[in-house]
Amino acid sequence: MKNSGVLLGFLPLVIYGIIAGTSVSSVTIALVAAIAAFFIVGLSDLRKGILMAWANVAIFGVSLIAIGVFGTVWLIPYMGILIYATLAAFTIGSILVGRPFTLQYAREMVDPSVWEKPLFIRTNVVITGVWGGIFLTNLVLCSVAVTIPGLTGRIAQAGTYVVLVSGALFTLWYPERLRKKIEVAKGIPLPANNPSRGSDKLAGGLISTFSPRNKT
């Protein structure tokens, strides 16, 4: 699939969580499935050098080598912690260096004249920051799942999916919220179905920033 987008970029994470068990074989199969899924939905992102895409491949690839090849069994219970700690560090780091990771996705969807607009950059800082918070939250939940087995641990593990879904909904909702604020401020309505054709390119860009990308 061309232009998989930031949300589809986390599909391997979901696939891994569904398939992975506690044995070396089940985790190995889950890692292989996750990597395969990412190459199916995110190959174009890899070719374009999207950093989050490569970070995902690195996380699952290194884990596959460690567990599937070298049989590092002790790592299995801590896989969730490892994954979310790495994603959180990458996400927060991208903000600290002034390049929130969502910028690479967003710039593909808007006119280049929008790229350096303060509002456009600030929007991406906010969305990237939210994802950083999501990864940190899931890091805590995975830690709870490891340290407190049983019902509490299972609830914590299930909670990670709720948090991911919440992040996806926010990613779709926030640019739309900004679009409405811009409409009020500018007094220029934008077509809801194709905002990029409106006279305010920035507002149109904010809407399309994290909407599902077209295949063309």
Q: Is the pLDDT of residue 53 over 60?
A: yes
Average pLDDT, the chain: 81
pLDDT score, position 207: 40
pLDDT confidence of residue 84? 95
**Maximum distance among all alpha carbons in the chain?**
62
Q: Work out the number of other CB atoms within 10 angstroms of the CB of residue 143.
A: 16
Instruction: Categorize the per-residue pLDDT at 6 as very low, low, confident or very high, splitting at 50, 70 and 90.
Output: low
Q: What is the span of the domain harbouring residue 63? A: 5-208
Quote the pLDDT of residue 1. 33
Report if residue 98 sits inside a domain: yes
- How distant is the alpha carbon of residue 174 from its chain centre? 15
Within a domain: residue 213?
no
Q: What's the pLDDT score for residue 4?
A: 41
Top pLDDT among 109 and 116 is at 116
Question: Residue holding tokens 């999501």?
Answer: 134
Report if residue 214 sits inside a domain: no
Distances (CA, A) of 181 to 11, 119, 158, 190: 31, 12, 35, 11
Closest CA to 127 of 92, 102, 107, 161: 102
The number of domains in the chain is: 1
Q: How far apart are CA 195 and CA 193, in angstroms?
A: 6
Here the tokens at position 96 are 């600290």
With 70 as the cut, is the pLDDT of residue 215 above it? Answer: no
- Determine, yes or no, domain membership for 89: yes
Whether 70 is covered by a domain: the verdict is yes
Does residue 216 fall inside a structural domain? no
Residue 154's pLDDT band (cuts 50, 70, 90): very high
- Region of poorest pLDDT, from 7-11, 30-34, 73-77, 161-165: 7-11
DSSP structure string for 82-137 = HHHHHHHHHHHHHHHTT--THHHHHTTSS-GGGTT-HHHHHHHHHHHHHHHHHHHH
Torsion of CA 79, 20, 71, 23, to 10 degrees: 120
Q: Is residue 150 part of a domain?
A: yes
Is 215 among the domain residues?
Answer: no
Could you give the CA distance from residue 24 to residue 164 in angstroms, rounded to a whole number?
A: 26
Tell me if 91 sits within 8 A of 132, measured CB to CB: yes
Residue 32 has pLDDT above 50, yes or no: yes
